A and B are shown apart, each in its own frame.
Chain A
Amino acid sequence: DTAVSQTPKYLVTQMGNDKSIKCEQNLGHDTMYWYKQDSKKFLKIMFSYNNKELIINETVPNRFSPKSPDKAHLNLHINSLELGDSAVYFCASSENPRLSNEQFFGPGTRLTVL
C-alpha cells in the first residue's frame, strides 16, 4: 500500500495556466507538507498543515494556494504558472512533530512549464 501518494506524477503545461497537484496519505498522520525541489536537488519547504490548519507558509508567492479538505489530503493549486515554477514538488507527512520528526515523502510531481 502506498503511504503518501501524489497525482499526477508528471505535469507539462504552458505559462499562464492554472494547475493542481493532489496528495493523500494513509498513515493517519496529523501533519502534511509541500516541498519544492529545484534542478540542483535543493529541497525547500513551502507549506505545512496540521489537522487541516495552515501552520507554515514560507515566503511562497500567493499564486500557490494549498488546500486541506481533511487531514489525509493536502492539495496544491498554482495559478498563472511561470517558467520558474518548473521543479519537482514533493508532498510529505508526519506524526505530530512533538512526538516524531520523521517525514514520509510522496513520489513527487515533476512540473514543467513551457
Chain B
Amino acid sequence: EDKVVQSPLSLVVHEGDTVTLNCSYEVTNFRSLLWYKQEKKAPTFLFMLTSSGIEKKSGRLSSILDKKELFSILNITATQTGDSAVYLCAVGWMDSSYKLIFGSGTRLLVRP
C-alpha cells in the first residue's frame, strides 16, 4: 500500500532555532513530492520537488529530495512564531489519473 510518513509528529522550538522536518515515502508511480503549510485553513503550497539532490529555497525555508532513499527534508532556519503551523508532505501519484497522497503532518510550534 502506498504511504507517506512524516516525522516528528510534533515539535516545539524557540524563535531563532533551526528545524528539520522529515518525509519518507513508499509510493508506486511516483511523480513528485510537495510540501504544504497549513495554518488554520487551507494548505498553502511551499515547494514541489521532482529531481534528487536539487535544493529548492525560499527565504528561510529549503527542501531537498532523495529519490534513491525515498525521503525529503524541509528545513526552516531562524524560526519565527509565524512559522507555527502543520507542515504537510504529499507525494504526487500518477498513472492514468493523478492524486496527492499526504502524510499525517508535522505540527510545529515556535515559542517566542
On A, residues with C-beta under 8 Å from B are: 4, 31, 33, 40-45, 48, 50, 55-56, 58, 90, 94, 97-98, 101-108
Pair count A-B, CB < 8 A: 65
Compute how far the CA of A94 lies from the CA of B98 in the bound complex, rounded to whole angstroms. 10
- Bound CA span A97–B6, Å: 24
Q: Which residues of B contact A104 (CB under 8 A)?
A: 45
CB–CB B98/A97 < 8 A: yes
Instruction: Evaluate contact between B45 and A102: CB separation under 8 angstroms.
Output: yes
- Cross-chain contact A43 with B102 (CB below 8 angstroms): yes
Contacts of A45 in B (CB 8 A): 99-101
Please give, as numbers and ranges, the residues of chain A lying within 8 Å of B104 by CB-CB distance: 40-42
The distance in angstroms between the C-alpha atoms of A40 and B104, with both chains bound, is 7
Contact between A107 and B97, CB atoms less than 8 A apart: no
Which A residues touch B100, using CB under 8 A? 43, 45, 101, 103
A22 CB to nearest chain B CB (Å): 16
Residues B43 and A105 in contact, CB atoms below 8 Å apart? yes
Would A41 and B42 be within 8 Å (CB), given that A97-B98, A101-B32 are in contact?
Answer: no
Q: Are B105 and A101 in contact (CB under 8 A)?
A: no
Q: Is B84 an interface residue (CB 8 A)?
A: no
Q: How far is the CA of A106 from the CA of B107 in the complex (A)?
A: 21
**A94 surroundings in chain B (CB, below 8 A):** 98
CB–CB A107/B42 < 8 A: yes
**Residues on B with beta carbons closer than 8 Å to the beta carbon of A107:** 41-42
Q: What residues of B have a CB within 8 angstroms of the CB of A4 in the complex?
A: 42
Contact A42 B102 (CB under 8 A): yes
